[in-house]
Amino acid sequence: MSSERLDEVARGGVPDWLPFSKIKLYTNAFVRQDGKLLLGYKKRGFGKDLYNGFGGKVEPGETPAQAALRELEEESGIAAPLEHCGVLFFVLPDLEQAFHIDIFRAEEYSGAITESDEMRPQWFDIEPAYATPNAKPAAADGSPKEHNTGLPPIPYDQMWADDPFWLPLMLAGRHFAGRADFGSDGRLQKWWFGAKPV
């Protein structure tokens, strides 16, 4: 993202940011199509048992865009015309490094979605009312509204704690940036998120 002004979307937590001595580059890619979002259930490694996009480390000699394409194919079996849409910065207390994560999105893909040894892909409903956590859409008569896709809603309770702040921005087509510091218990300690003005 360029140095354009961002509108603050959310902030909170403890007064001070965590220190770090080095930065590692990562990517995360998301594919949405026909009112649904493809997420991967992490079967092993960092983020195990959580749903996320498809991504990982930027290897030496790779650009973040190249790494995002490679990771998407390795973890889900598909290729997509990815568009850069955000930057996230994560710091954890027991690591010397901070995670600089370039976020990419696509509206279409090619290939067959395939489970890998690391990720189990699954589609989720992103009907507008479900694009934010804890939304309770209702039909005109007040009864619970059926999902258009017949799929479960985005599982925010099984995702990283910062995802509810920025994922709706991505789903709305916004460009965004943010930082999240986590405690050793995995809980958010301090956060800030912003998006380009609409």
In the block, tokens 């039909």 appear at 139
**Is 9 part of any domain?**
no
Q: Are 93 and 116 in contact (CB under 8 A)?
A: no
Q: How many CA atoms lie within 13 A of 35 on its CB side?
A: 12
**Is 11 part of any domain?**
no
3-state SS, residue 69: helix
Domain count for the chain, please give it.
1
Instruction: Render pLDDT for 100-156 as a digit per residue (tens, 0 to 9).
Output: 999 999 999 999 999 999 999 999 998 765 455 545 444 555 444 555 668 899 999
Q: Are 36 and 123 in contact (CB under 8 A)?
A: yes
**Is 130 part of any domain?**
yes
Instruction: Render pLDDT for 82-105 as a digit per residue (tens, 0 to 9).
Output: 999 999 999 998 887 899 999 999
**Is 190 part of any domain?**
no
Q: What is the pLDDT of residue 112?
A: 97
**Is 17 part of any domain?**
no
Task: Quote the domain boundaries for residue 65.
Answer: 22-183
**Is 197 part of any domain?**
no
Ordered DSSP codes for 22-52 = EEEEEEEEEEEETTEEEEEEE-SSTTTT-EE
CATH number at residue 36: 3.90.79.10
pTM: 0.88
Q: Are 145 and 153 in contact (CB under 8 A)?
A: no
Nearest one of 59, 66, 68 to 27, comparing CA atoms:
68
**Is 8 part of any domain?**
no
